[in-house]
Chain A
């Protein structure tokens, strides 16, 4: 399947959803309306930490125009002593996140919701809800949450036997680090911090929910998985999954942030109570205050190497902010940090720290950039101390087929060394630097994922193809599926229509997350098409009255083969489709699988920065990303994923951060002051797609959406060091920090 004779796989075809999007006609979640629709609004906590003694909604309910009020009492309670998992989410925490139960745990935590005939009345009614709070001291930063006298968020959480804000610990161990460090000629140990950063999707969360009198709910919303929307809404409202139909809207960005829900169960209960369709749309401010960014972190990494550059031991302790409820991505940090290297002795620990800020949500390779950043910076120092080129140091210690990783697996064929070699050989790596410029490199790993996927492939009566899958298309998966379908059936890609089915029209398909969507859906689509082709061969055999085994499928048509070769003119897809009813009925097939074999993705980045020495501004002037895609089904969208990850990494490294005021409130809840990079902040990000096919996938696909955000934090930090001769151990490397550091030198 990976030979270069492919006609459509690897082609930059036009994406099926392109015209609607560039003409502004694509329907996003907030575009849906219904007759009789009313508006839902949330009352949010004004305090970062408080007991909720009582809530009185009588005045709000009495306001003209108010149709329903909902509090935690209307949401299914999952007691804290028993974990109920849905994917990686624990419903104990989800139910407390969508509506505060015993306590308000962050400023902006939902306390109650109102549905009214206008959004203004709903907002007015929220102000009439009386909440009796017992305000508590709060802890926002990791250091504050870990102090001996820190306010404890959850009295049911114990760490080492004592009440604690450390909600969990994870450990990966390989060999014996004490023995390993004893063999080291050089050891570098450093502590690093990163700030929480938001996914920054342009489309705020929004939904419309209608519940009929007999309890059937229809949900229109944008998410990274409408089956997740259905399952979570079911669990939080008590409606069975069969009574909920979740219809995916086009999604205006997710980056992991839309792998959980906020509004849908609330809107469902408001709709059920009021008997009217209820629409809820978050403002940007609500998104910034109450939806999940990824964690802040404090990490200490220690790496030992011999004089010739062999890494003999590595240790990492990664403390991640979970936000108000447990569940920070410590697995991503502790697991991915050392994964690119063949290190005999590793101890990698992650600590999940709760604090009074919004619950973190997945963000592109959750936890992995936080893990890789300190490791890749320490490697840079080791390379410097040993006088070894940093890419050569990586090649000396590179993980490859057969390497045992600390997080568990023994790698099959992977394409990491190829990315480093491609970077080493690229002209960028040797290009001369200008004044006040510096160059840095770093690598990164992401697990990738498979999981449940369903597809249905139908041949239309006029001989074209409709493919339905169940993963929302965030990064061009429909375009890629069209390429694969066209390739396998031997027809023009424009004859293939690819749709995302809702929860009632296609089987269970897991979230678009973990870089799984194309990996998993192309597996079930491929198997479905194989079944369709078998049917097409049977129908042709029937028409020709020969044995189906004597029919081959090529170039979009059935051909007689073997002793019948040449006896009949080929039958095209359209000709067979036209005779489908006469030969046994409609032609189509569906396949559902729990897919496996998504092998890890690796990336290596080269970054050049230029520093304005008087203003402290760091600008990225050149960036080249090398990544193993396995097989690039649609190169434009592989490149888009690589560039997107880099762009977000640049923001994380240089400017983005949540700023809190003295009252424990986010002080910059807008795109104006939460400084994500804009187009003019970025150079054209060059991409080099490395293709080492995944042997466990029919097309050789490896996920590409996430590995790209893993290296930039360190690549940029290392480049700043190369430019200034100073190392920064805290992100973002913002102008005031740079200027202060330069002044200390002078």
Chain B
């Protein structure tokens, strides 16, 4: 019964100004595929909704001169899928983003919203972590950058400061022979939330893994960057022993909960399985590249 205001700023400064001024009573609307559902369920009742989809910087996809990418925080999954280059360079990350919701939801849902929603099971986040993506934030005190893995603070919480808005993601340039992959376990085949999600990004040179990053979702209060798993892969030819060690590292990193979506034992076991499978796909892509 309380009133709600809705604003559509055209500039980032306007958006940040309105957001800071509302002092916590406002929510940012990108695709709205989480926010509107939460509002309908009565879980949140914002006094102000700030729609950021009309801000140019938040809706662009740019391939930078060095071969990296800048993606606006409000870019919808379907737009990324239509981009001629993005999916070729980051097939695993694109798959992860495109797993958010249904085809209809993809028309709206953004990776930025997926990160800011703070779910430990967010599909795009482990792939972003594996990719080494950096989030650009803008707030009343100006602009700063933060590695994606540092953004989540816990279920439904982020480390963004009051008034800060996620502007977008910076993806680093790809060395030759790189590949990435994201896999999730869901009991169904679609329209579900990850019981475990695993993103792997690696680079191969002459069959030897020279760089790797691993992101793991839904097995802890926040998405994890599993350096021990990456370490187990780097320097190896991704042989069974290396994959076993990396899988064991993933399992060791898990500290999940028992809930309606999965058990501790199951999630822990599956984290290792997905690491091996995702590493295999990423390696195939690296070889093909």
A22 on the interface (CB 8 Å rule)? no
Task: Please pick, from A120, A121, A654, A735, the residue contacting B185 in the complex, using a CB distance under 8 A.
Answer: A735
Q: Cα distance A735–B274 when bound, in Å? A: 14
Is B263's CB under 8 angstroms from A736's CB? yes
A735-B266, A736-B265, A739-B269 given; A655·B188 CB < 8 A: yes
B156 on the interface (CB 8 Å rule)? no
Binds B, one of A236-244, A435-443, A447-455, A675-683: A675-683
A667 on the interface (CB 8 Å rule)? yes
Is B190's CB under 8 angstroms from A120's CB? no
B187 on the interface (CB 8 Å rule)? yes
CB distance from B182 to the nearest CB of A (A): 15
Task: Please pick, from B1, B190, B259, B260, the residue contacting A124 in the complex, using a CB distance under 8 A.
Answer: B1
- Size of the chain A interface, CB-CB below 8 angstroms: 27
Q: Cα distance A654–B186 when bound, in Å? A: 13
Q: Cα distance A672–B192 when bound, in Å? A: 6
A62 on the interface (CB 8 Å rule)? no
CB distance from B101 to the nearest CB of A (A): 10
A667-B260, A735-B187 given; A675·B273 CB < 8 A: no
Residues of B near A285 (CB, < 8 A) are 41
Is A678's CB under 8 angstroms from B189's CB? yes
Task: Please pick, from A124, A679, A736, the residue contacting B262 in the complex, using a CB distance under 8 A.
Answer: A736
Q: Cα distance A616–B192 when bound, in Å? A: 17
A75 on the interface (CB 8 Å rule)? no
Chain B positions 252 through 278: 1 when the CB is less than 8 Å from some CB of chain A, otherwise 0 = 000000011111011001100100000
Residues of A near B193 (CB, < 8 A) are 672-673
A121-B1, A614-B273, A740-B265 given; A673·B260 CB < 8 A: yes
Q: Cα distance A151–B269 when bound, in Å? A: 39
A464 on the interface (CB 8 Å rule)? no
B191 on the interface (CB 8 Å rule)? yes
Q: Cα distance A655–B282 when bound, in Å? A: 30
CB distance from A665 to the nearest CB of B (A): 12
A33 on the interface (CB 8 Å rule)? no
CB distance from B280 to the nearest CB of A (A): 12
Chain A positions 717 through 746: 1 when the CB is less than 8 Å from some CB of chain B, otherwise 0 = 000000000000000001110011001000
Is A668's CB under 8 angstroms from B260's CB? yes
Query: Who on chain A is nearest to B193 by CB?
Result: A672
Residues of A near B41 (CB, < 8 A) are 285
A615 on the interface (CB 8 Å rule)? yes
A736-B262, A736-B266 given; A655·B187 CB < 8 A: yes
A615-B273, A667-B260, A736-B265 given; A677·B188 CB < 8 A: yes
Residues of A near B262 (CB, < 8 A) are 736
Is B187's CB under 8 angstroms from A617's CB? yes
Residues of B near A614 (CB, < 8 A) are 270, 273
A659 on the interface (CB 8 Å rule)? yes
Q: Cα distance A677–B262 when bound, in Å? A: 17
Task: Please pick, from A673, A677, A680, the residue contacting B261 in the complex, using a CB distance under 8 A.
Answer: A673
Query: Who on chain A is nearest to B191 by CB?
Result: A678
Residues of B near A681 (CB, < 8 A) are 188-190
A120-B1, A736-B265, A740-B265 given; A678·B260 CB < 8 A: no
Query: Who on chain B is nearest to A659 by CB?
Result: B260
Q: Cα distance A659–B195 when bound, in Å? A: 16
Is B185's CB under 8 angstroms from A615's CB? yes
Q: Cα distance A743–B185 when bound, in Å? A: 18
Within 8 A of B (CB), among A262-315: 285
Residues of B near A736 (CB, < 8 A) are 262-263, 265-266
Chain A positions 650 through 678: 1 when the CB is less than 8 Å from some CB of chain B, otherwise 0 = 00001100010000000110001101011
Is A680's CB under 8 angstroms from B192's CB? no
Residues of A near B273 (CB, < 8 A) are 614-615
Query: Who on chain A is nearest to B269 by CB?
Result: A739
Within 8 A of A (CB), among B184-235: 185, 187-193, 195
Residues of A near B260 (CB, < 8 A) are 659, 667-668, 673
CB distance from B273 to the nearest CB of A (A): 4
Q: Cα distance A292–B260 when bound, in Å? A: 21
Residues of B near A121 (CB, < 8 A) are 1
CB distance from B46 to the nearest CB of A (A): 15
Query: Who on chain B is nearest to A666 by CB?
Result: B260
Q: Cα distance A358–B238 when bound, in Å? A: 53
| Most chain B C-beta atoms within 10 Å of own C-beta, residue among A615, A735, A743 | A615
Q: Cα distance A677–B190 when bound, in Å? A: 9
> Residues of A at under 8 Å CB distance from B?
120-121, 124, 285, 614-617, 654-655, 659, 667-668, 672-673, 675, 677-681, 734-736, 739-740, 743
8 additional A-B pairs beyond A614-B270, A655-B187, A668-B260, beta carbons within 8 Å, are A615-B185, A615-B273, A617-B187, A655-B188, A678-B188, A680-B189, A739-B270, A740-B265
27 A-B residue contacts at CB 8 Å?
A: A121-B1, A285-B41, A615-B273, A616-B266, A617-B187, A655-B187, A659-B260, A667-B259, A667-B260, A672-B191, A672-B192, A672-B193, A673-B193, A673-B261, A675-B188, A678-B191, A680-B188, A680-B189, A680-B190, A681-B190, A734-B187, A735-B185, A735-B187, A735-B266, A739-B266, A739-B270, A743-B269
